[in-house]
Structure 1
C-alpha cells in the first residue's frame, strides 16, 4: 500500500508528528498538536566535517594517550571513532576490562534507542502507523501493535457482536418487507416436503409419485434473496459512508476508518466494503456458495496481522478501531486529531 506524502503521527512516539515522503520519514518531529508547515520540512544542513588532529610527538600517558600495554582510546579533541555515535567513544582500560562510558551493551548515547536512529535518519519502506515486524537485536517482548490515528484496534469479539446486532436488525426488516414472499414460498414447497416426511416416517424411500414443487418456487427464492440484499445495502452503506458506524458498531463503540486519514468513509469506499461481504447473499441460491464466502470473510480478521483487517476491509483500505470511553458531556476524542494522521 502506498501512503501519500504528508505530516503523520510518528508511530514510534504518538506525541509527535513527522513528514512522510512516500518512502520514509524526513526531518525532525514536531509536537502532535502543533500546526505542521505546508509541504516537507526544510532540509537540515549536513554536519561540518571533522578535521583530524595533527600528529604529535609521543607524550606521557594522560587523558588522550595510553600507557604501555594499554589499548589506545580517544582523548580531548579527537573525532568520533568508527562504529560509535558522534562525539563519544568508549574509554579504554586494561586488557579485558569493559568500556567505562556508553550504555550497557554498547548502545550509543545521545537519544539513540530501539525507537530512534541518528538525527535525520528515517526508516525506509515503513508506512505510517505500521509497527515494525521485528525489533532490534536484544529488544525484549513483542513489538507494539499499531494504533491507527492514535486509536486501539477493535477486538474480534466486539466486531462479531456488532455484526450479530446488525444481522438481527436486517432480519427484522426482512420479516416485514419479505414476509409475504416467504409465506408464498412455503405454500409452494409444503406439499412436497409434507409427503417426503410422511414416507420417511413409514420407512418408504421411494421418490415416485411425489407432488411436484410449485412452478413459482424458484422465482420466489430469487426475489426473496434480492430483497434481502437490497435491505442490507440500504441499512449499512449510508450509515457507514457518513460516520463509519452502524447501530451494532455504535453499541459496541467501534468504528471503521480509512487507513489514509481519519475522515468519513464516503459512499464509494463504504459500497466497496459492503459488496465484498453483502453481495454474496445473492449466491445463497447456488447451493449455499454465498454463505461460504461470507463465512470466510467473517473469519479473516483472526488471521490478519498486524491490522486485523477482514477481506472487505482490505478491499476498501479501511481498519476497525475501538473508540475511547468518554465521561460527562465531553466530546469524543476519536476525531481530535486533524486529517493526515497515521493510517
Structure 2
C-alpha cells in the first residue's frame, strides 16, 4: 500500500513540510508550523531562459565576463560547467536547485526533468532515514526481542488454559508414538502400519489452535488498539503508530494488523502451512525500505518507532491540534 497524498514533514528536513503525491515529493517546502493549503501546491512557473553570453575575443576563455577557461567542447552556451562559479555542488546537479535547468525550460506537455543528454540529479550520499512523527524507526533487534517476550507470555497463558487439551491430544497420539519408538529401539524389520491415533485427535487439534488464536487475539488487539504496545513492546520501548498521524491505532486497525500475522494460526494443522505464512510475515521487515514495515504493518498502514527514554508529560505540555507533530509518510 502506498501512502495517501497529502502534506507531510519532509524526512530530509524535519523543519519543513512538503506535499506527497503518492509517488514522490512535489512543490516547494513550507515551514513545519505553517498551516498547509488544501490540496496539492500550485505548479511552479517555468524558469526563464538564460541569455547566451556574448562571445568576446579579448575575454579569457572567449566569453564576455566568463572567468577561467571556457566550457567543454559540445556543451551548450550558457550552461554551467564543472568548476564554474554557480555550478552545482556535485556533478549533474543543476544550478538553482532540483527542477531548474538554466537555459532549458521544459517544453509544454513535457514532464519535468533534465534536457536530453544531461545526467539526472541524485543524492550525493545515502538519503537520511525517515523519522515518522519525529521519532526514529525501531530496530530489527528491538522488534524481535519484543515479539519473543510476547510469545513467552502467550506460552504461559496456553499452559494454563490449553494444558488439558494438549494432555488429551498426547493420550490420543500415544499408541502410534509408542510403537514407532519400539521399532526404532529394536531391530524390527516389520512393514506393518503403525496403529492409528485416537478418534478425537482431529477435534483436539482444532480446539487447541482455536484457543491459541483466541488467547493471542485477546492479549494483543486491545492493548495495541489503546496504546500501540503489547507487554513486549513496552519492555523494549517501541510503539506502533499510524503512518498518517500520531494517535492510537483503534480497534479496527489493530484487528487488521493482527489478522495478517495471527489468523494463520488456524492453519497450523495443515502441514505447518500457517507457520510458514507467519515466518514470511515476520522476516518481511528485513527487506522493506524505507519504513521497515512488515506485511501486517502494510495491511494496517502502521509503522513501529523507538520511543525516547523520557517522554514529556502530556498533561502539562501544550498540543497543537491543527498541526500534529511529525506526520511524515
TM-score range, shorter chain: 0.7 to 0.9
| Secondary structure in 1 matching 2:239 | strand
Q: Evaluate the alpha carbon distance shift between residue 24 and residue 153 of structure 1 in structure 2; reply closer, same or farther with a 3 A threshold.
A: closer
Contact kept, 8 Å, 1:174 with 1:228, in 2: the verdict is yes
Q: Evaluate the alpha carbon distance shift between residue 264 and residue 95 of structure 1 in structure 2; reply closer, same or farther with a 3 A threshold.
A: closer
Structure 2 residue corresponding to 1:92, chosen from 60, 67, 90: 67
Query: What's the CA shift for 1:195?
Result: 2.8
Indicate whether 1:10 and 2:10 are aligned: yes
1:68 corresponds to: 58
2:172 corresponds to: 188
Query: What's the CA shift for 1:219?
Result: 0.8
Aligned mates of 1:202, 1:46 — CA distance in 2: 88
2:274 corresponds to: 290
Structure 1 residue corresponding to 2:253, chosen from 269, 278, 287: 269
Cα-to-partner distance string for 1:96-143 (whole Å, 9 max, x where unaligned): 898663256686666x3xxx555xxxxx99xxxxxxxxx935x44322
Aligned mates of 1:315, 1:173 — CA distance in 2: 27
Aligned mates of 1:215, 1:195 — CA distance in 2: 18
Indicate whether 1:155 and 2:139 are aligned: yes
Query: What's the CA shift for 1:36?
Result: 1.0
Equivalent residues in 2 for 1:133-152, closer than 5 Å: 136-137=121-122, 139-152=123-136
Equivalent residues in 2 for 1:193-342, closer than 5 Å: 193-206=177-190, 208=192, 210-326=194-310, 330=313, 338=324, 341-342=327-328
Query: What's the TM-score, normalizing by structure 1?
Result: 0.72
Aligned mates of 1:243, 1:197 — CA distance in 2: 49
Query: What's the CA shift for 1:40?
Result: 4.9
Contact kept, 8 Å, 1:257 with 1:318, in 2: the verdict is yes
| Secondary structure in 2 matching 1:15 | strand
Query: What are structure 1's unaligned runs of at least 5 residues?
Result: 53-63, 75-90, 119-123, 126-134
Query: What's the CA shift for 1:20?
Result: 4.2
Q: Evaluate the alpha carbon distance shift between residue 259 and residue 95 of structure 1 in structure 2; reply closer, same or farther with a 3 A threshold.
A: closer
Q: Evaluate the alpha carbon distance shift between residue 198 and residue 30 of structure 1 in structure 2; reply closer, same or farther with a 3 A threshold.
A: same
Query: What's the TM-score, normalizing by structure 2?
Result: 0.74
| Secondary structure in 2 matching 1:14 | strand
If you compute each CA radius of gyration, which structure gives the higher value, 1 or 2? 1
Count residues with an aligned counterpart: 297
Aligned mates of 1:290, 1:44 — CA distance in 2: 50
| Secondary structure in 1 matching 2:35 | coil
Aligned mates of 1:45, 1:296 — CA distance in 2: 44
Cα-to-partner distance string for 1:24-53 (whole Å, 9 max, x where unaligned): 656653332x2515525885995997998x
1:39 corresponds to: 38
Aligned mates of 1:288, 1:49 — CA distance in 2: 65
